[in-house]
Each structure stands twice: as C-alpha cells, then as structure tokens.
Amino acid sequence: MARINDNFLKLKAGYLFPEIGRRVGAFTQANPDKAASLIKCGIGDVTEALPEAVREAMHKAVDELGNRDTFRGYGPEQGYDFLREAIADNCYVNLNISADDIFISDGSKCDSGNILDIFGQDNKIAITDPVYPVYVDTNVMIGNTGDADENGRYEGLVYLPCTAENNFVPAIPDEKVDIIYLCYPNNPSGASATREQLAAWVNYAKANDAIILYDAAYEAFIQDPDVPRSIYEIEGAHDCALEFRSFSKNGGFTGVRCGYITIPDSVTGASASGERISIKQLWSRRTSTKFNGASYPVQRGAEAIFSEAGKKQVAELVAHYMGNAKLLREACSEIGLNVFGGENAPYVWVACPEGLTSWDMFDKMLEEANVVITPGSGFGAAGEGYFRISAFNSRENVIEVCTRLKNHL
C-alpha cells in the first residue's frame, strides 16, 4: 500500500488563486455575455510585454544553443556567475553581499516553499496574518502544523496580526519563535516596513537565535527613498536573515520564471547535537541534489534587466504599474472607502464597505462590476473585511475598473 503524505489532508479547500479562477470560470459559464468585459485584478500577474532588452538577450542565448560551438548543457545548479555577479553588483551595492551568496532559481514561490527542506520539524514558526498563502500551505504540507481551526488558522503556527492599527507591520511577539516570515513591501496589504521596524525584527531574531525569511519580491516598487529595499540594509541582518527576490514583477517574468535567494555565510542554524551549521551550505547541497538550474536563456534574460537599456525599460514598467496603483487608490478614496498600500507596492488594500465580508465583496465586484478582486480573508483570518486590487493591468483596464468601482459602490 502506498501511503500518502497525510499532511496534505489538513489543507483548506484549494489554493487561493485557483479557487478564485474556479469561481470566475463558473460565473463566465453562467453569464457568457459578460465574459468579454470581465477585468481581472485578482492574482498579481503582470500584463505588459517583456522588456525588449530581455527579449534580445533571450533570443541571442537561444541562438547560442543552436550552435554546437556555443551550445551549453547543464549549467551550475546555483546559477551562472554572470547573473549572480550582476545581482550582487546591482541589487546589493555596499551591502556586503557577494555573488556566491546568491542562488538562482525558477522563482520565489518555489524558493519560499523549498526552503523548508533544510529546516527541522520542531521549529516554532511565525507568519503574519494576512499573508502570502504559500508560506502557510508549505508548512502544512511538510508537517509543521496541526489541523486548522474554524478560522483557517493552523495549530502550531504563531500568527502575527497585521492590522490598520499597526500599519500592517506586526508587533514583535512576546514569545520565542525560531523562524519568521516577513514580506515587505507586503503582499497582500501593500504596506512597507520602515528601517526601525525591520531593525526591531532583526534585533529580535538575533536575541532569540531565530532566522528571518524575508520576501522582498516587490522591492522594485518602492518609491520612498527612506524605505529599505533589502533586509541587509539593517545592521545584524547578515547573521539572521535570508532574502527572497524575484524577476517576476519588476521584469515581467511571471511566465518566464526566475528568482533567487540570498544567504550570507554567517547565517547558521543548530543541528540536533547543537552544532552550528551554515544555512548557505545546506541550501547549496539541497540545490545540487534537487535542481539543475534555471534555464540558460532565462538567466541571460534576467541578466539583461541590469543592462542600461534593461534598467530603463524596467523603470518604465514599474512606473506604469505604480501609476495604475495611484488611480485605484484615488478611485477607492473618492467613493469613501478606507484605502491602504499602493504607494510602495503594486497592491491596493481596501476595507470593505460596512456590512460586507471579503467574499461578499468578491461576489459583488464579480457580479455587478464584472471585476475580479482578491478577498482579503483568502490571505488569512485577519484579512477578513478587506479586499485586494492588483495594479498589474493595462492603463485602459484600470481606468475602466475605477469607473466601475464608482458606479457600483
């Protein structure tokens, strides 16, 4: 008899975004006349074309593979040096991060789930609420939790509520945890964390011998020069934090797939016997066994993001999406809704009108305005009463969404 991993049976319903897709599919099937005018602002998937510099680099790389003399087979599992160096030189200027601290992957979603391979099963894990659902579900899958309660909160996880009162940056817990997931700029609330707030978390992690898993997938959208782009801008973070980054949202790589984890030498965890073990060595070992590297044309495309032309094109993409975020914020404010985020992140987080739950709001927007949003409760119990609008769309669609919001709310 082949036994399954029973932990999967603890998972609640479907993963949020396929579940939204299922509901939208049922709606369009029942209302085929509305399918053409449906506007999707649910999942944070980019809509604009891949930058020209990236496409050129990828074409060139494919041509290299088409010639026996320049053909490449398996690449280094941890990523090609050309990309690791470009990242170290461009993303970590004066932050004491070197190319060999950087591990290239096929995206941050995979990285944030896969990282659990190298941690033990008796860690106390803290996650924010609301949160990117991958952090929770992957902990459930690997057996780090008990069952969920009626609010969908899993036994064994420490939930850190993020509310309007704390500007969606959680208070430092009064108990000791071993691993903390933080994501800033935040998905889903669009909030950003100040230097002081991150410093408090780094100090907590160092004092408690904990590790911070810092998801910086949205750093390119930071507009305020005082908001830290990397956890390594904070003193002490090199001893206690891993950083996840992605080319998905800045470079339009949601379909192309490329991301990376940064792990400085000095981050360590304890073995069962108490010996200090380098996290970087473990991740490198895990990567060599389970991964054969992101594809060569993709890594060349990612490298091109750091060329002069690439930087300019990415800046234009970011400006486009942040222009959308501004319009969405203004439209929601104009109709009297309480709006958060959207200033340093491509997500606008909105309090539902009085008396409507997150899923009520999802249904109302779908059925009346023909717009897909994401219900806040899909990100956790503390997301109830909110909805998220993604700014990843064409300008034309965003202007139309603003009009529909005003007409239907």
Among the listed ranges 25-33, 43-51, 268-276, 289-297, the one in contact with ligand MLT (CB under 6 A) is: 43-51
Q: Which is nearer to ligand MLT, 109 or 280 (CB)?
A: 109
Among the listed ranges 39-47, 139-147, 311-319, 321-329, the one in contact with ligand MLT (CB under 6 A) is: 39-47
Beta pairing class for 125-129 and 268-270? unpaired
Question: Which of 20, 40, 41, 44 is the binder for ligand MLT (CB under 6 A)?
Answer: 44
Q: Whose CA is closest to 214, among 197, 225, 224?
A: 197
Do 384 and 367 contact (CB within 8 A), yes or no?
Answer: no
Smallest gap from Cβ 132 to ligand MLT, in A, equals: 6
Q: According to CB under 6 A, which residues from 121 to 160 bind ligand MLT?
A: 132
Q: Does 105 bind ligand MLT (CB under 6 A)?
A: no
Question: Which of 109, 229, 280, 329 is the binder for ligand MLT (CB under 6 A)?
Answer: 109
Q: Which is nearer to ligand MLT, 301 or 376 (CB)?
A: 376
Which residue's CB atom is positioned nearest to ligand MLT? Answer: 44
**Residue 59 phi/psi, 5° resolution?**
-60, -45
Q: Whose CA is closest to 45, among 395, 391, 406, 401?
A: 391
Q: Which is nearer to ligand MLT, 109 or 329 (CB)?
A: 109
Q: Which is nearer to ligand MLT, 11 or 43 (CB)?
A: 43
Q: Which is nearer to ligand MLT, 187 or 268 (CB)?
A: 187
Task: Using CB under 6 A, count the residues that bind ligand MLT.
Answer: 6
Q: Which is nearer to ligand MLT, 247 or 306 (CB)?
A: 247
Q: According to CB under 6 A, which residues from 159 to 188 bind ligand MLT?
A: 187
Residue whose entry in the numeric block shows the structure tokens 């208070």: 171
Smallest gap from Cβ 17 to ligand MLT, in A, equals: 6
Cα four-point dihedral sign 258, 214, 359, 394: negative
Q: Does 43 bind ligand MLT (CB under 6 A)?
A: yes
Q: Residue 95: CB partners within 8 Å, gap ≥ 6?
A: 230, 232, 233
Structure tokens at 384: 């109830």
Binding residues for ligand MLT (CB under 6 A)? 43-45, 109, 132, 187
